[in-house]
Chains A and B, each alone.
Chain A
Amino acid sequence: MDFGFSEDQLLLQSTVRDFLQAECTAEWVRSGWETETGRDPVFWKKLAELGIPGLLVPERHGGLGMDDVDLVLLMEEVGRVGLAEPLVPTVQGVGILRGLEDAAPAAEWLPRVAEGDAILTVGVMGNGFVPDAHVADLLLIHDDGALLSVPRDAIRADPVASGDGSQRLFEVSFSRADAGVLAQGERARALVAEALDRGALCCAAQALGVADQLIRMAAEYASQREQFGVAIGTFQAVKHMLAEVKVALEYARSHVYRAAYSVAHAAPARAADASMAKLAACEAASTAAKVSLQVHGAIGYTYEQDVHVWMKRAWSLERACGDSVFHRARLCDAVIDGKSPAESFGYSPPAGLG
């Protein structure tokens, strides 16, 4: 039993943090809002050099062969800078390819992902939008009980507008004749379920970074902005708002780290753990956005100031990979009805309460 990260894991996190802080400024994120694709192939290559898209790719396919526990620390940093490159759908896709019985698609695609030469995305037909379908080289689509692989040029992708300029969402359609069948039935369902939980986890981890950044910005602003002759951060009304959201953030963090372990180890309660992580972290991020806006006051409400950059990330993360309504319902089904496993950590209820 050790609920901590290793020195190597923390070192990798700090390396990625330093890189992103230097390269991925708010100004750069905003510049992506104005471009046609909103994505930067040169930057993606740099992310690949750091090993992020290929983190979960087995070493035999040229990846780092690491797991979700390593991954969440990096996703936190991705959220902290508001980076919206298609890392989440790509690692979801890596998880699917890695888990296929047929080794050929993994052998074909995973080395390219690790090299930074391929972007993946995942979707479920008739259930929400597909992110980054415009830049994905391979789409993994769950449709009518089958898990399909669809190459980029066989897809029609109609953009869906988002309030977050970083977000690129699509409704996709394609002809089944152009799709390969990767898995069917229960196997397909299991792979898609794992991808959903991994995606929810990655969004949750990003939300931790988003919340932390929003709190930090507000604390810095409150420390230097003066009214009534003193820094507004001396007022308890301001202190308490920020302290409350800090509490929410730190307890969300515990859920996220546990869910990372559950996803990495395919724990029986993986789905419930991922839902708790997603709910707690996205709530912390949304609250942090409101609090940060309030602390900044009118200046925070301007387009010029950067609060809204992270606020919009908080909004889109909350809706990605299962929105809060989905995750709350799933948690209730597990905790109250026992439809799927929900496990207390350590404690187990006595007979009569179980």
Chain B
Amino acid sequence: MDLAFTPEQEAFRKEARAWLETNVPAEPLETFDLPDGFEQHREWEKKLHAGGWAMVPWPVEYGGRGADLLSWLVFEEEYYRSGAPGRVNQNGIFLLGPTIMEYGTPEQKARFLPKMASSEEVWAQGWSEPNAGSDMANIQATAIRDGDHFVVNGQKTWASRGAYAHWLFGLFRTDPESKRHHGLSFVLLPLQGEGITVRPIQKINGKAAFAEVFFDDARVPVENLLGPEGQGWSVAMATAGFERGLMLRSPARFQHTAARLVALYRETVERGDPVSPSMRERVARCWMDAEAYCLNTYQTVSRLLAGGKIGAEASLNKIFWSELDVRMHELALELLGPRGEMPGAWLDGYVFALSGPIYAGTNQIQKNIIAERILGLPRK
């Protein structure tokens, strides 16, 4: 165990900090759940990419920086510290990207990763269907082989970034006779074209954060199959592992929120606004929990660098960060008192935090996974 950063890591941190200080937009961008904001965020991604910071741990040939996951964590720490914009292509760069890295053919890597890194192509997720939410193995959308194409039919829903994204990845039933998690395949599809209809869905703040997507004999070339045909479930589980376990929510995000919360508490006290005695301890506890999440992530990354894999313990993570995020925002709104209902960063953040326990597999599903796969409780 050596918890000191190396001189190289410190130098990397300095370099990232300097670049971000020069380049992060002074004014916050419009939300990427609106068309203008979406384009503003793509512009920002283009700049990040040109600076070589879009995807720190990816190989240079795919638009990355060729650094390891520890450097990525350092970059993320600097990224959140700098107040830089949210990553509009997070579905691509953090979830699909690592999956393509693991399961993709050389051609797929060359075709998809560079444009993903630059956000020329922004990705939406296509897991859920009207009858396959928590019960994801109940997927009914089909992709039936017809020569060198799949013919896709069915409906996906709650596709994050689906309103404006260019591509979608998801699970489709390639064996129409199959049941549950058998016979599914992981397919990459463009969101424009014949037989594809995207209908944006507004989230509770009225902005189009996701979409439902209808497929009506849409044709997709077989090259867009990721991983073996019929093995989509295990490919998807790898993606879910990245999502829940590591990349989607890097710890600095929560450490930064915790630092803002501590600052808000101090300001509230200095202003003489009322605080209840328990708030002080709750603020410190949030800060402590954000640290726990960070420490746990460094443990995970150390394990991965030593050749380990992300397994069911990713579910522990997802519960911890999503609940922490809600807790921090609730406390901030309490501290704001009457101003807590006014639009602003904390209320926006709270609305977003509330989706955390739902997306990426509800926390109830995660608890089932922990109980069955980690603690060994019987499924039935």
| Chain A, range 170-189, C-beta contacts under 8 Å to B | none
B204 at the interface (CB under 8 A from A): no
B1: chain A residues at CB < 8 Å are 2-6, 69, 257, 260-261
A353 to chain B, nearest CB (A): 5
B82 at the interface (CB under 8 A from A): yes
B320: chain A residues at CB < 8 Å are 247, 251
A240 touches B371 (CB 8 A): yes
B259 at the interface (CB under 8 A from A): yes
Q: How far is A136 from B375 in the complex, measured between Cα atoms in Å?
A: 40
A261 touches B377 (CB 8 A): no
A246 at the interface (CB under 8 A from B): yes
The number of chain A residues touching the other chain, given as a range, is 35 or more
| Chain B, range 11-46, C-beta contacts under 8 Å to A | none
A328-B281 in contact given A4-B299, A251-B296 (Cβ < 8 Å):
yes
| Chain A, range 1-60, C-beta contacts under 8 Å to B | 1-6
A238 touches B252 (CB 8 A): no
A332-B368 in contact given A254-B299, A349-B256 (Cβ < 8 Å):
no
Q: How far is A348 from B76 in the complex, measured between Cα atoms in Å?
A: 11
B288 at the interface (CB under 8 A from A): yes
B111 at the interface (CB under 8 A from A): no
Q: Which secondary structure characterizes the binding site on chain B?
A: helix
Q: How far is A257 from B263 in the complex, measured between Cα atoms in Å?
A: 28
A234 touches B292 (CB 8 A): no
Residue from B73, B260, B378 whose CB has the most chain A CB atoms within 10 Å: B378
Q: How far is A219 from B6 in the complex, measured between Cα atoms in Å?
A: 42
A331 to chain B, nearest CB (A): 5
B352 at the interface (CB under 8 A from A): no
Q: How far is A239 from B252 in the complex, measured between Cα atoms in Å?
A: 31
A207 at the interface (CB under 8 A from B): no
A219 touches B251 (CB 8 A): no
Nearest residue, chain B, Cβ from A345: B294
B81 at the interface (CB under 8 A from A): yes
B293: chain A residues at CB < 8 Å are 251
B81 touches A350 (CB 8 A): yes
B315 to chain A, nearest CB (A): 8
A336 touches B375 (CB 8 A): no
A97 at the interface (CB under 8 A from B): no
A157 at the interface (CB under 8 A from B): no
A274 to chain B, nearest CB (A): 12
Q: What 7 A-B pairs are tightest by C-beta distance, nearest first?
A: A239-B371, A254-B295, A243-B367, A243-B370, A233-B377, A349-B259, A347-B255
Chain B contact residues, CB within 8 Å of chain A? 1-6, 9, 70, 73-74, 77, 80-83, 251-252, 255-256, 259-260, 262-263, 265-266, 280-281, 283-285, 287-296, 298-299, 301-303, 305-306, 313, 316, 319-320, 364, 366-368, 370-372, 374-380
